A and B are shown apart, each in its own frame.
Chain A
Amino acid sequence: MGRRLLAAVPVLWGVTFLTYVVMDLLPGDTAQILLGINATPAEIRQLSVQLHLNEPFWVRYSIWLGAMFHGSLGTSLQSGQNVTTILGARLPVTAELLLYAFVVSLVLAVGLAVLVARWPNGIMDRFSLVISMMGLSIAPYVLALVLVYLLAVKVHWFPALGYTSPSANLVENIKSLTLPAASLGFPLFAVYTRLLRADIVEQLQREDYIVTARAKGVRPWRILLRHALPNSMFGLITLVGLNLGTLIGATAIIEPIFSLPGAGDILVQSISNHDVPVVEGIVVVFAVVVVVANLLADILYAVLDPRIRYGRVAS
């Protein structure tokens, strides 16, 4: 456990460092970009000095790193706002979107996988395999557009654009996030269902303790839910951990489509603007989330598997 934490640190550092290097390598004068075409050379020079843009790479990196350890993520080169403030406004939107997509897809996936594992190769099973194949193959941005066309334009069930905060109107909030969450969540749902179904079916067919349970006379649903399902969760947990990074990345495309004021939305803009502090701030937060999520996954393993929790004690 401690070892895992320790191993996470260099990864986190590596991510931030790499991001900084990449952003730094982007050609083009940052000050110029920020000030626009009409800036005078004097203005550009002034901004460059102000933002330490002409200092050597290591100096700039250390300044940034140092500031971060003091809790400050710097200021946006573009807007002058505190990066922390920006993130504070935007992260909750992304977080809500991700949570919505993730929870719904997970719950539906478990439900469908269980249902389908009860009657393998039945009609529902084939149907679910088709649906998962579709979910795996569709691009989220394509799905987003299709959903917008069908559910927002053809019928006005959901808004095509825009975001309402939960404090303003909860129902509208949910509605404004539903189509984006569906675009993100459907591929997730597909992957989860496929994996879980395969794992459950494998447990039911290959494992001896399932035969014991049948020989005891336990009812089929109980075998499925109480024996097969808990032992099938491990693959899913690993997958969720691995998946998180991609999921977060996908918000960069989905949020702009729906004009959601989230972190993904601003990420693309900031990259174009060479707004390094903002990009770094977002990247750091994302990397931390991914690392923490994977740690949580490990913990969950221990909780679910008594062999890990109690170790081997032959009495």
Chain B
Amino acid sequence: MTGALLDVEDLKVTFAGRGRPVRAVDGVSYSVHPAQTLAVVGESGSGKTVSCRAVMGLLPQTAVTTGSARFAGTQLIGLTDEQLRRHRGADIAMVFQDPTRSLNPTMRVGGQIAEAVRAHRPVSRPQAREQAVDLLRLVRIPLPERRFDEYPHQLSGGMRQRVMIAIALACRPRLLIADEATTALDVTTQAQIMELLLELQAELGMALMLISHDLALAASYADDVIVMYAGRVVEQAPASRLFSRVRMPYTQALLEAIPRLERPAHAPLPVIGGRPPDLSALPAGCPFAPRCRHAADDCRATEPPLAEHEPGHSWACWHPVGGPAGRLAPGNASGGAA
């Protein structure tokens, strides 16, 4: 697709495991456009993190990546580590889940930011320091000059995450990937960090990819949403469309699992029965079939392809929710599950 900043096509990632290989990502395609916010949603093991790390080349050596991932026209898959290194941080940056473990405990916070700057730009130490302080200010950390000299353990969780964001933004990347960036934070801080990310996105005009298991988060902050399951994309739509006219039973189940105030008190939360699939031994047919309410024989026999059944809205299901005509908001649809 032209105009896309990041264009991923048929990405596959396999890990050589003890015994059979594990297909963590099994043919994923999506695009991210400049200034767009794309959310990638799925359970643990759905392949959402692996696919993004594959694009940046951050996977361990046991991983084999095939397919295509073009960033502004440059093919990233197959580049050497040194070639990829030039893109990392400079064009695409990542913010990780656990800021406590993701920062070097024996290095000052400011130094870690300055390091990000000097990795790609030939600036002097004092200049890098200045830029780092500016970045701390950018992520709304008070007293940035003081914070520069502190160590990660001296900061609170929310501050550490802001530092991670500052590091990611050091070279003004065009795409920022937030991999479960708020999962380890408490709810209030979560909201603050998300607001910060959106403000920065607007200020800097970058594209934002939100990776999360939290559908509500995706609903609130993303333009477009991709739902992944067992290493594949199973539904793809603009956020508004996805939540008002959900198609994939899996997505619907995820939506139903979100706790809501309107539910009667003490009513058990609907959960998706069964367990996530074993990626080294996927059954034939739709990977969600074992856990799907609507599963039929053709579901178990043949894997449904991802197809754009409605303009802008793709799904991979033989028997989507609501039949051909589509359904309204999930609250009405579930009936029996709640």
B149-174, CB under 8 A of A: which get 1 and which 0? 01101111001000010011011000
Query: In the assembled complex, how far is the CB of residue A290 from the closest CB belonging to chain B, in whole angstroms?
Result: 27
Q: Is the CB of B159 within 8 A of A211?
A: no
Chain A residues within 8 Å of B120, by CB = 217
Given A215-B88, A215-B89 in contact, is the A230-B119 Cβ separation under 8 Å? no
Chain B residues within 8 Å of A226, by CB = 107, 115
Q: Is the CB of A208 within 8 A of B93?
A: no
Give the contacts of B290-325 with A (CB-CB under 8 A).
none
Is residue A212 contacting chain B, with contact meaning CB distance below 8 A? yes
**Chain-B contact segment, one of A82-90, A104-112, A306-314:** A306-314
- A222 CA / B115 CA spacing, docked (Å): 10
B81 contacts which of A220, A227, A231, A315 (Cβ < 8 Å)? A220
Q: Is the CB of A216 within 8 A of B170?
A: yes
Chain A residues within 8 Å of B86, by CB = 217
Nearest residue (CB) in A for B93 is A215
Q: Is the CB of B93 within 8 A of A306?
A: no
Nearest residue (CB) in A for B106 is A230
Chain B residues within 8 Å of A214, by CB = 58, 85, 88
B167 contacts which of A216, A220, A231, A312 (Cβ < 8 Å)? A216
Give the contacts of A159-214 with B (CB-CB under 8 A).
205, 207-209, 211-214
A53-97, CB under 8 A of B: which get 1 and which 0? 000000000000000000000000000000000000000000000
Is residue A218 contacting chain B, with contact meaning CB distance below 8 A? yes
Q: Is the CB of B98 within 8 A of A215?
A: no
Chain A residues within 8 Å of B107, by CB = 226-227, 230
Is residue B102 contacting chain A, with contact meaning CB distance below 8 A? yes
Chain A residues within 8 Å of B105, by CB = 209, 231, 305-307
Q: Is the CB of A219 within 8 A of B164?
A: no
Chain B residues within 8 Å of A205, by CB = 60
Give the contacts of B139-157 with A (CB-CB under 8 A).
150-151, 153-156
A102-138, CB under 8 A of B: which get 1 and which 0? 0000000000000000000000000000000000000
A217 contacts which of B90, B150, B154, B164 (Cβ < 8 Å)? B90
B85 contacts which of A207, A219, A227, A230 (Cβ < 8 Å)? A219
Q: Is the CB of A304 within 8 A of B106?
A: yes
Q: Which of B56, B103, B115 has the most CB of A within 10 A?
A: B115
Q: Is the CB of A216 within 8 A of B155?
A: no
Given A209-B105, A211-B96, A212-B167 in contact, is the A315-B119 Cβ separation under 8 Å? no
Nearest residue (CB) in B for A312 is B153
Q: Is the CB of A218 within 8 A of B58?
A: no
Q: Is the CB of B58 within 8 A of A215?
A: yes
Q: Is the CB of B85 within 8 A of A211?
A: no
Q: Is the CB of B153 within 8 A of A208?
A: no
Is residue B101 contacting chain A, with contact meaning CB distance below 8 A? yes
Give the contacts of B78-126 with A (CB-CB under 8 A).
81, 85-90, 93-94, 96, 98, 101-107, 115-116, 119-120
Query: In the assembled complex, how far is the CB of residue B108 from the closest CB belonging to chain A, in whole angstroms?
Result: 8
Q: Is the CB of A215 within 8 A of B56?
A: yes
Q: Interface size class for chain B?
A: 35 or more
Query: In the assembled complex, how far is the CB of residue B177 from the closest CB belonging to chain A, in whole angstroms?
Result: 9
Given A215-B94, A217-B90 in contact, is the A310-B102 Cβ separation under 8 Å? no
Q: Is the CB of A305 within 8 A of B106?
A: yes
Nearest residue (CB) in B for A210 is B104
Chain B residues within 8 Å of A220, by CB = 81, 85
Give the contacts of A218-265 with B (CB-CB under 8 A).
218-220, 222, 226-227, 230-231
- A209 CA / B154 CA spacing, docked (Å): 16
Give the contacts of B191-236 with A (CB-CB under 8 A).
none
A216 contacts which of B98, B101, B116, B154 (Cβ < 8 Å)? B116
- A44 CA / B148 CA spacing, docked (Å): 76
Q: Which of A207, A218, A222, A314 has the most CB of B within 10 A?
A: A218
- A193 CA / B10 CA spacing, docked (Å): 44
Chain A residues within 8 Å of B58, by CB = 211, 214-215
B57-87, CB under 8 A of A: which get 1 and which 0? 0101000000000000000000001000111
Q: Is the CB of B164 within 8 A of A212?
A: yes
Nearest residue (CB) in B for A231 is B106
Q: Is the CB of A208 within 8 A of B102?
A: yes
Q: Is the CB of B119 within 8 A of A307?
A: no
Query: In the assembled complex, how far is the CB of residue A202 from the closest CB belonging to chain B, in whole angstroms?
Result: 13
Q: Which of A211, A230, A231, A314 has the most CB of B within 10 A?
A: A211
Query: In the assembled complex, how far is the CB of residue A222 from the closest CB belonging to chain B, in whole angstroms?
Result: 8
Given A306-B151, A314-B156 in contact, is the A216-B88 Cβ separation under 8 Å? yes
Nearest residue (CB) in A for B177 is A215
Query: In the assembled complex, how far is the CB of residue A236 from the closest CB belonging to chain B, in whole angstroms?
Result: 15
Question: Which residues of A does B touch, CB under 8 Å?
Answer: 205, 207-209, 211-220, 222, 226-227, 230-231, 304-307, 310, 312-315
* Given A214-B88, A226-B115, 16 new contacts (CB under 8 A): A205-B60, A209-B105, A213-B104, A213-B115, A215-B56, A215-B168, A216-B115, A216-B167, A217-B86, A217-B90, A217-B120, A218-B115, A220-B85, A306-B105, A310-B151, A315-B154
A-B CB contact pairs (8 Å), 22 listed: A207-B101, A213-B104, A214-B58, A215-B94, A215-B96, A215-B168, A217-B86, A217-B87, A217-B89, A218-B89, A218-B115, A218-B116, A220-B85, A231-B105, A231-B106, A307-B151, A310-B154, A313-B154, A314-B155, A315-B150, A315-B154, A315-B159
A-B complex: 5 closest residue pairs judged by Cβ atoms:
A217-B89, A208-B101, A217-B88, A216-B116, A217-B119
